Structure 1
Amino acid sequence: MKAMILAAGKGERMRPLTLTTPKPLIPVNGIPLIEYHIKALAKAGFTELVINHAWLGQQIENYLGNGEQFGVSIRYSAEGEPLETGGGILKALPLLGNQPFLIVNGDIFCNYPFIQLKRSINHLAHLVLVNNPQHVANGDFALTQDNIVLNEAEQKYTYSGIAIINPKLFANCAEKAFKLAPLLREAMQQQQVTGELFTGDWVDVGTVERLKQIEAKQKQPKE
């Protein structure tokens, strides 16, 4: 199974850091965010990676190269102008092929075991959800006892930015900028999205403050 790291965001909320450095290359204790993902994916057996980029994207290519030093093969989908999450995945489909693939947001920090997602799916998508962090009030999606993801319910969780996607999800999409969430919600209405709840370490590195919190936690001695 191939994996795609979504790395095209501009990181407006992390200025001034992202004025000269693309968000996925922002370091956590000296190691770029995206490098943590690549090493974790390689360890789980994902060796064919696709990375999309837009803002300062050449820096990402210069740093990662073809991925050989990480034991993976990396191909790039350069967008020029950002295409949002959905549009970016659609543009990269020729590199990803016609089989389900893993996606992971390049701006999260987590210890999710990617090996759990190295499998096929019978639906259009499988989402990894997490408990709602402090900056998310109501969550995104709900889970039934059968692990079917719903758009509306009393108890909602936050979408982690990690998922398996079937290319068929994009069957009726045109090449333009668009978000992934509306596509997922349409598929949910047809009960074509499954999910799971991950309760390990996960942070959306959306602000400088959260970045500092992660670095402080990483420096704490392990029990």
Structure 2
Amino acid sequence: MKAIILAAGEGRRMRPLTLNKPKPLLRVRGKTILEHIFEALPKEIDEVIVVVKYLGKQIEDFLDDKFTDKKKTFVLGSDLGSAYSLLAAKPFIGASGRFVVIHGDDLPSKNEITECLKHESSILVCESCEPQNCGIIQLKSDGSLEKICEKTPEPKSNKVLSGVMVFRQEIFNCQPLSEQGGEYFLTSLINQYAKSFPVYPVYTGACRQFSSPGDLKTVEEVLNQRL
């Protein structure tokens, strides 16, 4: 099974930490974010497709040196947004069926990824203290996803999309839609996909948002609770 790690963004809100280093290479509890992600991958994942753009060579060199035993493919992402970065990985998925998508700035646990894999299609959901800056989930009566609303000024819920998703390859048939500021969010693809394929939420209480350099301490506390 393949995993796609979206690691193309600039991480502008994390500046100055990301002026000369991509966000996925920032360190939390002594390890880079990408190290945490790779170490959390369950044994079913035998190939990782890493979508890079901003300072991508740093990411490629780091992973090639650190994880020599894991099959990796590096793909050039897009400046237009996470939707186009995911679509850039389409040629490398082929007919492999389901796959996992992980945001390159998230810190999922192995258990969270495993729970998401129990569904044909799923998204990891957490409770956010800043839901206005996130994708708010809305559910259908059967408990599956209806849609995700990006960065709503007055959110009606604090349940938001976290950094792990499981999809079928049909999501690549969806078309990106421009949202705020002309950016093409991954959620535009998910919302179209959810109209044809049930997407089930997997809940975790651990919210790991990186909105500013000061958030690193909070995220470290979340990771400490896993120990």
User: Which sections of structure 2, spanning at least 5 residues, go unmatched?
Assistant: 150-155
Matching of residues 25-40 of structure 1 within 5 Å: 25-40=25-40
Q: Secondary structure at the match of 1:52?
A: strand
Please name the residue that 1:73 is paired with. Answer: 71
Q: Which amino acid aligns with 2:163?
A: G
Task: Give every structure 1 segment of 4 or more consecutive aligned residues whose post-TM-superposition deviation is greater than 6 Å.
Answer: none
Q: Deviations over 1:29-69 (max 9, x none)?
A: 2210011000110x443121000011100000010117644
Report if aligned partners of 2:174, 2:193 keep a CA contact under 8 Å in 1. no
**TM-score normalized with structure 2 length:** 0.80
The root-mean-square deviation of aligned C-alpha atoms, in Å, is 2.9
Distance (Å, rounded) in 2 between the aligned partners of 1:21 and 1:139: 26
CA change 1:92–1:152 in 2 (3 A) is: closer
Distance (Å, rounded) in 1 between the aligned partners of 2:116 and 2:53: 27
Please name the residue that 2:115 is paired with. Answer: 116
- Per-residue deviation at 1:14? 0.5
- Per-residue deviation at 1:151? 2.6
**TM-score normalized with structure 1 length:** 0.82
How many pairs were matched up? 213
- Per-residue deviation at 1:136? 1.1
Report if aligned partners of 1:184, 1:193 keep a CA contact under 8 Å in 2. no
- Per-residue deviation at 1:22? 0.4
Please name the residue that 1:97 is paired with. Answer: 94
Identity within the alignment, %: 25
- Per-residue deviation at 1:105? 0.5
Match of 1:142 among 115, 138, 143: 138
Please name the residue that 2:15 is paired with. Answer: 15
Q: 1:184 aligned to 2:186?
A: no
Q: Deviations over 1:49-107 (max 9, x none)?
A: 000011100000010117644x421110023x524111111111111223221001011
Q: Secondary structure at the match of 1:97?
A: coil
Report if aligned partners of 1:7, 1:106 keep a CA contact under 8 Å in 2. yes
Report if aligned partners of 1:112, 1:201 keep a CA contact under 8 Å in 2. no
Report if aligned partners of 1:139, 1:156 keep a CA contact under 8 Å in 2. no
Q: Which amino acid aligns with 1:192?
A: F
Q: Secondary structure at the match of 1:203?
A: coil
User: Which sections of structure 1, spanning at least 5 residues, go unmatched?
Assistant: none
